[in-house]
């Protein structure tokens, strides 16, 4: 496991966003970073998902295509459509 201080891990989390990206930088698994984050009591970035999902649904209802939303938000197209389908969102005509 990499030797990271709490401050360094918080900084990396703001910059690289995911545990997976941080793990790749240090050549360890995302689980190792997850455990380190839990040890320090640092929340994951997933608590921001409801806010992100509302933004996706709003833009989709206004007519933005799912592929454009995926690129803009930085997630996969299938993830965008899962969020849209879970919310039962329909495009405006």
Per-residue model confidence as pLDDT tens for the chain (93 residues): 568 888 988 888 888 878 888 889 989 998 999 999 899 998 877 667 788 899 999 999 999 999 999 998 888 899 899 889 888 877 665
Tokens for 51? 């806010």
Rounded Cα gap, residues 11 and 8, in angstroms: 5
Residue where the block lists tokens 């921001």? 48
Range of the domain at 63: 48-87
For the chain, the domain total comes to: 2
CA 92 to mean position of chain CA atoms: 27
Q: What is the dihedral of CA 25, 27, 32, 38, to 10 degrees?
A: -20
Residue 57 shares a structural domain with residue 37: no
Q: What is the pLDDT of residue 65?
A: 93
The whole-model pTM stands at 0.55
Q: What is the pLDDT of residue 45?
A: 72
Helix segments in 18-48, DSSP class H: 19-26, 30-40
- The answer to whether residues 82 and 56 belong to one domain is yes
Q: Are residues 11 and 32 in the same domain?
A: yes
Alpha-carbon distance of 83 to 31, in angstroms, equals 25
pLDDT attached to residue 1: 59
Can you give the pLDDT at residue 59? 93
Q: E strand or H helix at 71, and its extent?
A: helix 66-73
The rounded distance, in Å, linking the Cα atoms of 23 and 20 is: 5
- Residue 67 has a pLDDT of 93
């Amino acid at each position: 496991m990499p030797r990271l201080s709490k401050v360094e891990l918080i900084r990396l989390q703001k910059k690289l966003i995911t545990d997976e990206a941080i793990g790749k930088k240090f050549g360890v698994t995302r689980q190792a970073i997850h455990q380190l984050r839990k040890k320090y009591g640092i929340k994951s970035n997933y608590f921001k998902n409801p806010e992100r999902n509302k933004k996706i649904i709003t833009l989709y209802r206004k007519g933005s295509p799912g592929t454009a939303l995926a690129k803009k938000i930085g997630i996969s197209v299938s993830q965008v459509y899962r969020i849209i389908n879970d919310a039962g969102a329909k495009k405006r005509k």
